[in-house]
Chains A and B, each alone.
Chain A
């Protein structure tokens, strides 16, 4: 679904059943899930997601750009900024780890810890990669099509395959254990 700046303005003017509402309803869960992947904590992901929609509402794209693409661009920007704040993220992950342990069956705490450590390394690796490469990987893994990724990152759809392959190579090169494989 494509929204224009004019439509956003109309929504801001007070249209009850606005396009913005539709945008919110259709994308809220997906934006939250995307941000969860980056920050590893639901409440932070929801706070960030709320900020994403607030920003899109207050500052729609300057031209008639595809609004959902803009939405995911803002989401990845905020998400990666949050990801790079390592100190904060670690606290959340520690907390998330404790919560996961509390909810896990007693037989698999080692697995939970291992998974958490791997997730931490994966986020570290993403934060070290070129921003565009990291964004492509996370958007693709969130289930977005090449066309959707191209819209979100303002890239030519035909370039996504090349960039995705390159991003995966970059991920492996940066992942701490990739040399051991």
Chain B
């Protein structure tokens, strides 16, 4: 009887109890098969260790524990401080608590506060999500992540952003964290549902589902629930954030305080083809990238709407957003005047390492980003809008080129 591989590995690592260690040792002394396996395991461990050693810091740097503790304490304390700028009564439904029966009250409250006028205000959406994501990530990373995540829009305009020009401490801003935890409410209306057919998905998302015919295999079809993000602007806090990131020069429109903006995101379809294993999981707040080697993800969703009070100076907000992204005030002012902020999503992409281009796809103009890969491994993100429906495609694998992405996108039936 030979020793199982895992036990030999544990023996080599001195992870067996003393009695078992001795037993394995005795066996190894007399068993050439297990000796050979031990040698093979040991050799592989050495080789893999040599590679992993390259991840260790070449320049030792002691982590700043005291500073980090202070930052953590400040962050926790700030979140626990009651805020004076609450528009909503305390019976305001908690994020995600859609079964409390308070929605009607919210609607009434909303109607009293504003004459509701629905219109897309993409600049705000971008700003909100940019800031939301910045909590956990650095800004460029956040932008890249959200490319397929939340934004579903009508027109796309790409601007290139130099990572050096972004405020490096945005992700560390404690005021930003407070804003995200207290001024932004997120509600999800239901759970993610895995469905068995395109017809079922069509019923759930309220429009015919189109699927690419050029991908082999049965996709995993998931319907993402509708959701709503409500943002109550707190001008004092926004100013504090700008101060914190060293951009107190950026001017926001007057009279923002208390303005409530809601983003309604309809239910959408998510279809996964190929080897799409979910990411690490375990943390519902984090994006869960697909980690499969050859995976194509297709998203179809009706364009979200943003509701904001009439008269909101969208152009000025867009200008501030561009400045936060590193544009000079003159350029931002010029750019902001020449764009229809009510229908256009300005996609910021880092100016280094990312190759994007406008492409004709599905009969309209879309944007595709080829991500830097490793060796033969590639990935792309594609986004286009047709007839009020946002489509997104993400491919990764050895053949995930722009040409292949276009081929898949143009095969939608």
1/0 contact string of A53-89 vs chain B (CB within 8 Å):
1110100000000000000011011101110111110
The one of B9, B54, B136, B350 in contact with A165, judged by C-beta atoms closer than 8 angstroms, is B9
1/0 contact string of B280-296 vs chain A (CB within 8 Å):
11110111110101000
B293 touches A85 (CB 8 A): no
A170, closest chain B residue (CB): B48
Question: What chain B residues lie within 8 Å of A146 (beta carbons)?
Answer: 10, 13, 15
8 Å CB interface, A144-181 against B? 145-146, 158-165, 168-169, 171-172, 175-176, 181
Q: CB of A128 within 8 A of chain B?
A: yes
Interface pick from B69-77, B97-105, B116-124, B219-227 = B69-77
Question: What chain B residues lie within 8 Å of A103 (beta carbons)?
Answer: 59
B6 touches A162 (CB 8 A): yes
Complex Cα–Cα for A14 and B279 (A): 35
Question: What chain A residues lie within 8 Å of B59 (beta carbons)?
Answer: 99-100, 103
Question: What chain A residues lie within 8 Å of B217 (beta carbons)?
Answer: none
Q: CB of A90 within 8 A of chain B?
A: yes
Known pairs A53-B72, A122-B54, A168-B44; list 17 more (Cβ under 8 Å).
Answer: A36-B55, A49-B68, A57-B72, A81-B280, A85-B289, A88-B137, A88-B140, A90-B353, A99-B59, A118-B51, A122-B55, A128-B293, A131-B277, A141-B53, A141-B55, A161-B6, A164-B9
Interface residues of A, dominant DSSP:
helix
Question: What chain B residues lie within 8 Å of A138 (beta carbons)?
Answer: 52
Question: What chain A residues lie within 8 Å of B287 (beta carbons)?
Answer: 81
Question: What chain A residues lie within 8 Å of B13 (beta carbons)?
Answer: 146, 161, 164
1/0 contact string of B33-67 vs chain A (CB within 8 Å):
00000000100110111011111111101111100
Question: What chain B residues lie within 8 Å of A74 (beta carbons)?
Answer: 282-283
Complex Cα–Cα for A122 and B15 (A): 26
Number of A-B residue pairs with CB-CB distance less than 8 Å in the complex they form: 191
Chain A residues packing against B (C-beta within 8 Å): 21, 24-25, 28-29, 32-33, 36-38, 40, 42, 44-47, 49-51, 53-55, 57, 73-74, 76-78, 80-82, 84-88, 90-91, 99-100, 103-104, 112, 115, 118-125, 127-128, 130-131, 135, 137-138, 141, 145-146, 158-165, 168-169, 171-172, 175-176, 181
Would you give 22 A-B contacts (Cβ < 8 Å), ordered by A? A24-B69, A42-B61, A42-B63, A47-B138, A49-B63, A54-B76, A57-B76, A77-B280, A77-B286, A85-B141, A87-B354, A88-B144, A91-B353, A104-B58, A115-B58, A122-B54, A141-B55, A161-B9, A162-B5, A162-B6, A164-B9, A176-B374
B353 touches A87 (CB 8 A): yes
A137 touches B52 (CB 8 A): yes
Q: CB of B145 within 8 A of chain A?
A: yes
Question: What chain A residues lie within 8 Å of B7 (beta carbons)?
Answer: 161
The one of A33, A77, A124, A165 in contact with B41, judged by C-beta atoms closer than 8 angstroms, is A165
Q: CB of B114 within 8 A of chain A?
A: no
Question: What chain A residues lie within 8 Å of B281 (beta carbons)?
Answer: 77, 131
B10 touches A161 (CB 8 A): yes
Complex Cα–Cα for A32 and B51 (A): 20
The one of B45, B53, B163, B277 in contact with A168, judged by C-beta atoms closer than 8 angstroms, is B45
Question: What chain A residues lie within 8 Å of B352 (beta carbons)?
Answer: 91
Q: Which of B145, B280, B373, B374 gathers the greatest number of chain A CB atoms within 10 Å?
A: B280
8 Å CB interface, B273-314 against A? 277, 279-283, 285-289, 291, 293
A28 touches B63 (CB 8 A): yes
Q: Known contacts A42-B63, A175-B51; is A121 also within 8 Å of B374 by CB?
A: yes
A124 touches B289 (CB 8 A): no
Complex Cα–Cα for A123 and B55 (A): 8
Q: Known contacts A51-B136, A99-B59; is A88 also within 8 Å of B141 by CB?
A: yes
Question: What chain A residues lie within 8 Å of B140 (beta carbons)?
Answer: 87-88, 91
Interface residues on B, range: 35 or more
Question: What chain B residues lie within 8 Å of A81 (beta carbons)?
Answer: 279-280, 286-289
The one of B10, B48, B141 in contact with A137, judged by C-beta atoms closer than 8 angstroms, is B48
A64 to chain B, nearest CB (A): 18
Complex Cα–Cα for A39 and B346 (A): 28
Complex Cα–Cα for A115 and B58 (A): 9
1/0 contact string of B332-362 vs chain A (CB within 8 Å):
0000000000000000001011100000000
Question: What chain B residues lie within 8 Å of A131 (beta carbons)?
Answer: 277, 279-281, 291
Complex Cα–Cα for A40 and B61 (A): 12
Complex Cα–Cα for A77 and B282 (A): 7
Q: CB of B235 within 8 A of chain A?
A: no
Complex Cα–Cα for A111 and B246 (A): 38
Q: CB of B371 within 8 A of chain A?
A: yes
Q: CB of B372 within 8 A of chain A?
A: yes
Q: Known contacts A87-B140, A164-B9; is A46 also within 8 Å of B64 by CB?
A: yes
A18 to chain B, nearest CB (A): 11
B55 touches A119 (CB 8 A): yes
